[in-house]
Structure 1
Amino acid sequence: MSRASEQSRLWLPSYWPTWLGLAAFWLCARWLTWSERRRLARLLAWFHFHCIRLRRHVVLVNLALCFPEKSPAEIRALGLAHFEALVFGLFETTAGWWEPLDQLPPHRIIGAEHLERAIAAGRGAVLLTAHFTTLEICGVYLTARLPVGCLYREPKNPVAAGPMRRHRERVASIAIHHDDLKGLIRALRGGYVIWYAPDQGKRTPGAEVLPFFGVPATTNTATAKIAKMTGAAVVPYFARRESDGSYTLTIHPALENFPTDNLSADALRINRLIEENIRLAPEQYFWVHKRFKTRGEGYPEVY
């Protein structure tokens, strides 16, 4: 398909709702304060949670599995809070696309020296993290301070894919497609820092079923392999939205004694690290993903 044909396809009626949605978020970014956007996000989340219910079942199942100590009422309350975080994450994402850094909410970066030390070593760094609803806006904050590249997966909707691709190419030091393993290895060997989130389970070669919040889950074991192949440091990084509307980005020291000769133990160590940081703001994790789906034979279907 020619480029002209691809562009004309974007204006088909099936994509009009996406265009309208982008226009609405652009208007919000232009005219609404951040406190007004938060109130609107709570309203939209309440409506989505109670009336549309898309993915609500997945979220509630995930939360019940991972937090068995919580009552059904507490799980529903946490589920609603998660939808608020998801909707507000859309406001954050589009603000990151269209608003300058000095118009975004305040933020702080803790531990930047750990990543700077890894960069100075010249062997590249895997910036180890997970999928949180603050992913996009905190990526803007991070790349404004430090040279960080990313792995990316384009959304299926090509209208949304366009601005997302342009944004990531603008702020990231390098953008690598998530399926391009050779490109990832080349970048790390070339000294780049690459944002890397191995927390979404898929039945890929080498994946293993390991506990995540004590529940068997398909787990990516590639982090240790990548570190061993490249000599790159593995530097944990997690970000969260604070109650006052600001953001805290924390970069931890590079993992010591990593990788080892035990891929399962290395992957389990990463799972536990991710769990610890999810517990700091559980509503902000990406619970709409079917984390416990593709586990293989012998495991019950939970969704």
Structure 2
Amino acid sequence: MQFLAYILIYPLLWLISILPFRLLYAFSDGLYFLIYHIIGYRKKTVKENLHLVFPNKSEAEIVSIRKKFYHHLCDMVVEAIKSLTISEKQMMKRMTFPNIEEIHKHENNNRSIVLMCAHYGSWEWIFILQNHVRSKGYAVYKRLENKYFDKLVKRIRAKYNSYLITTKDTFDTLQEAKNKGELTINGFVSDQSPKPWKAHHWLDFMGIHVPAHTGAELLAKRLDMSVVFFAVKRVKRGFYETTFKTIAEHPNDYKDYEITDAFFKLVEQQIEEAPQYYLWTHKRWKHRDKSPEDFK
């Protein structure tokens, strides 16, 4: 059944991916109309999240952000599909890194990097970063249920010396790389909501008390890797800039969870500046206003 789904869907995805960008974004506009106006995909969740974190915004402002978010979400979907056939030249033109020297600084100091980001902006073309650095790239991800599409996604990333690894394999893979003397740059999307009974740390995110993932910080300390935050900014439709900010060059100099707290403060700044680019469909605040004791 998985293979049947693959051979039926993949040709359609490939046909969409070869569309010129003008037609690709026209397709995105049609997808927006379908998802937002017809299907209403997670509109209730998005509305609740926006009202929760922006209690002082008017209903008109909330609706405006919500519509802009769904337009952006559809653009990300078609850009992910475009990754199947987009040329390296086009990708380098559309995803730029104005302060890439921040990464080079750590490489020149022989430091591997934990690269932290949130579900913000666009992360679909970030793997072109490997064309600008010497380090081998890894990204932690959740394996797809369909093994054929899972292999496809891995193959696309591998074209640019970037490799996907599961959470379970992360430490062993990066420890082995360190033992070999390899420099690595390792991407973590770190703003998800963990299971509260497993959370080691709670913090205020957008003014709301929630559990936080601390895996990126803990791994950086165990393997002595620099911690860098990256922010993706949309310049115009189909064009993005990614900038880097070092959170900790030597993470073991910091108290437990200081790095995680600093990361979430940077994410908050992004959201305040342009909230439409955050992934509001996730139930990030579903465990709000609880405490670890509530789940014992």
Residue 124 of structure 2 is aligned to residue 136 of structure 1: yes
Structure 2 length as normaliser, TM-score? 0.84
- Write the deviation string for residues 115-160 of structure 1: whole angstroms up to 9, x where unpaired: 1111222231111211235111232x31222243211222234443
SS class of match (2:16):
helix
The equivalent of 1:35 in structure 2 is 22
Tell me, in whole angstroms, the C-alpha distance in 1 between the residues paired with 2:148 and 2:63.
Answer: 33
The equivalent of 1:227 in structure 2 is 220
The equivalent of 1:101 in structure 2 is 88
Residue 2 of structure 2 is aligned to residue 10 of structure 1: yes
Matches within 5 A, 1:143-182: 143-146=130-133, 147=135, 148-182=137-171
The equivalent of 1:110 in structure 2 is 98
* 2:140–2:167 CA contact under 8 A, matched in 1: yes
Return the offset for 1:212: 0.9
Matches within 5 A, 1:1-303: 9-12=1-4, 15=5, 21-30=9-18, 32-104=19-91, 106-132=94-120, 134-139=122-127, 141-146=128-133, 147=135, 148-183=137-172, 185-186=174-175, 189=178, 190-203=182-195, 205-243=198-236, 245-255=238-248, 258-259=251-252, 262-295=255-288
SS class of match (1:76):
helix
Number of residue pairs matched by the alignment: 285
Unaligned stretches of 5+ in structure 2? none
> Percent sequence identity over matched residues?
23
* 1:236–1:255 CA contact under 8 A, matched in 2: no
Residues 1:183 and 1:277: Cα distance change in structure 2 (over 3 Å) = farther
* 2:210–2:290 CA contact under 8 A, matched in 1: no
Residues 1:122 and 1:179: Cα distance change in structure 2 (over 3 Å) = same
Structure 1 length as normaliser, TM-score? 0.83
Return the offset for 1:198: 1.1
Tell me, in whole angstroms, the C-alpha distance in 1 between the residues paired with 2:146 and 2:216.
Answer: 29
SS class of match (2:202):
strand
- Write the deviation string for residues 4-61 of structure 1: whole angstroms up to 9, x where unpaired: xxxxx3244xx3xx6555433322322x322332232123112211221222212222
Tell me, in whole angstroms, the C-alpha distance in 1 between the residues paired with 2:100 and 2:39.
Answer: 41
What is the aligned-residue RMSD (CA, Å)? Answer: 2.7
Tell me, in whole angstroms, the C-alpha distance in 2 between the residues paired with 1:123 and 1:156.
Answer: 35
Residues 1:67 and 1:47: Cα distance change in structure 2 (over 3 Å) = same
Tell me, in whole angstroms, the C-alpha distance in 2 between the residues paired with 1:154 and 1:22.
Answer: 18
Tell me, in whole angstroms, the C-alpha distance in 2 between the residues paired with 1:57 and 1:276.
Answer: 25
- Write the deviation string for residues 249-271 of structure 1: whole angstroms up to 9, x where unpaired: 11223536745553344322211
Structure having the larger proportion of residues in strand: 2
Return the offset for 1:168: 2.1
Residues 1:133 and 1:87: Cα distance change in structure 2 (over 3 Å) = farther
Residues 1:187 and 1:143: Cα distance change in structure 2 (over 3 Å) = farther
* 1:92–1:134 CA contact under 8 A, matched in 2: no
* 2:140–2:165 CA contact under 8 A, matched in 1: yes
Instruction: Give the letter aligned to residue 263 of structure 2.
Output: I
4+ residue segments displaced more than 4 Å: 18-21, 256-261, 295-299
Residues 1:113 and 1:187: Cα distance change in structure 2 (over 3 Å) = farther
